[in-house]
A and B are shown apart, each in its own frame.
Chain A
Amino acid sequence: MKQFLLHAWEDIKEIILHLFTSAIVIICVSFVFYLIDFVVKHLFSEENYSILLLETASQGTILALFLVYVYKSLIRAIKNINR
């Protein structure tokens, strides 16, 4: 019983750690989004086509990398449950 509880506690700790890092990554991504938006709105005129292009492209890139992260953590979680 004691062993079981110890293992459960280890697992819970790992899950908390994962949730914590995921949260940090989400916050970072949104912050970068905000930053890009802020820079574009305040430093450049919004009608500037190439700046808009850059903004959408960089946000798209960050989003795609975030998806990679989500995919990786999902697949790891699944593998860990299977073990």
Chain B
Amino acid sequence: MTDIKIKLRKNAFIKTMVLRVVLYTMLLLCSIAALYLLNTFASQYNIKYVIYVLILVPLAFFFQYLIYSFSMEKKISFNNFKDTLMELESADNIRTGVLDHPVKFLFPEFELFYKLEDSVNDKINFQKLGEINYINKEKALQIEKEFKNFISDNLQQFLEYDLVIKMKRKGKAIFDDLIEQFPPLEKLVPFTDPAVIYNMQKIKDRKILIFDDSIHHSNSARNIIDLIKKIGYEKILFLTVVAQKDSLESLKREYPDVVFLQYEIKDEEEYKKFYAEYMIGYLDHVNRSLENDHALIKLKIDTLIKKEDFIDIFEDNRNYIYEVERIVEKENEYKISLECPWIYDKMKNSIFDNIKMDMVKVRFFIKLNQPTDTIGTTDINLSPALIPREFDQDFCNKRKTKDFCLLYKLNILGVNEEINNLVCINCVINNLTSDFINEFMKYFEMKLREKKRANIIEKNISFPFPQELYRGK
């Protein structure tokens, strides 16, 4: 792992230096040309230097912007240039109260590099390859019971509200589970967070309950509260299962009129522990509603692939295995999560010119048949989780598929400009997933043959059809 970190650091450094040398040299040449031209045209010193500075400063801004966008791999456009000039890009950092380190703003590309390193660090912390990471089922059940007691204690308070906004898929999954337990909660009109923007009139000046599974970095909480503040509200209650203490305090300071209610408030370390020990188990339990959103690939392999073999297959610098789990009772089954950053680049080279991936995770649910003998087969259910961060606005127009594109189904394309700018999540996820499956299966089959001499006997792929609309960036 240290090798990866050193490599990352080296690459970032070389990239920064090369870019700077090239672009600053170009700036110097432009500056010489400007001065030379001015010398030939104007003779008065004062005017000459004033014009010179007036030309040079915008040039310097432009070149600095070029360095920034090349190194951050951003699209070069006038709007982006404007955003960078006004520092709108890092608005999130400033809002969370984290002042950027000066080194980061002299070398903006290092932010990306820090992020990369952080993700590697996270993976090192999670990596427990030697031992199996058990989810403690009893404790999870106990905490779930306590959480439900907590909800029933506060139920009357929740029923005062008119509507509920379920944050992201996790929030939705847990809240839907809660409704089954507490039917009175059905009274709250449900919205998901991406739907808020299309239902402003219905949400305006109401009593709003926001539900999320957790507050960690508090970015999504800020986004939704800011949006609702713009729309207008009577009161807001922000309910989560768990929250990280510092983020929660900064939120409370910033939004004194919002009520925050949490079942557990934890320090960073304890938060991570709580999440890993309990929340993942809880989410697995309630993830019925998540299933529709993922593609599912069912494979049968003619050889037994034990945990060690499997880790061996993916043991190289390109992938990070960061979770190996087994539910206590089922000895033949285990779950491995894998992140494949190399696929980001593959996808960038295909039709997704301007797409940025936040995450490409693959979860393997592995079941060994006849594990006591050395001969047997392995069933693998493979579910990719693809999370795009940014994509081109007109992306959907490029590869709209009439069969499942929501915009075609609603028959609203061309009604107005705003609707044309919408991106249908069905198309995005579907196209991404099919690209991902092509790339990943090629790689997986090759590795299986190479390292284990194993072959895939059966293959069955089902695609997702999520029912939500998202807005392009």
Contacts and interface: CB of A to CB of B under 8 A. Distances in A.
Given A53-B39, A83-B95, A61 B106 contact: no
A26 interface: no
A22 B39 CA distance: 33
Interface centre among A53, A64, A73 (most CB of B within 10 A): A64
A80 B94 contact: yes
Interface string B73-97: 0000000000000110001001101
A53 B32 contact: yes
Interface string B99-119: 111110110000000000000
B24 interface: yes
Contact of B35 (A17, A22, A56, A71): A56
A45 B411 CA distance: 76
B64 interface: yes
A21 B31 contact: no
Nearest to A56: B35
Chief secondary structure at chain B's binding surface: helix
Nearest to B96: A83
A53 B36 contact: yes
Interface of A: 14, 17-18, 21-22, 25, 53-54, 56-58, 60-61, 63-65, 67-69, 71-73, 75-76, 79-80, 83
A61 B36 contact: no
B91 to A, nearest CB: 8
Contacts of B101: 17
Contact of A61 (B31, B94, B97): B31
B100 A76 contact: yes
A65 B60 contact: yes
B60 A67 contact: yes
Interface stretch (B50-58, B224-232, B346-354, B418-426): B50-58
Contacts of A68: 57, 60-61, 64
B37 to A, nearest CB: 11
A72 B87 contact: yes
B32 A21 contact: no
Interface of B: 24, 27-28, 31-32, 34-36, 39, 52-53, 56-57, 59-61, 64, 86-87, 91, 94-95, 97, 99-103, 105-106
11 contacts: A17-B101, A18-B102, A22-B102, A57-B35, A58-B31, A65-B24, A68-B57, A69-B106, A76-B87, A76-B99, A83-B95
A25 to B, nearest CB: 8
A14 B98 CA distance: 10
A13 to B, nearest CB: 10
Residue of B24, B60, B101, B106 with most chain A CB atoms under a 10 A cut-off: B60
A60 B31 contact: yes
Contacts of B36: 53
B59 to A, nearest CB: 7
Nearest to A61: B31
B57 A21 contact: no
A3 to B, nearest CB: 8
A5 to B, nearest CB: 15
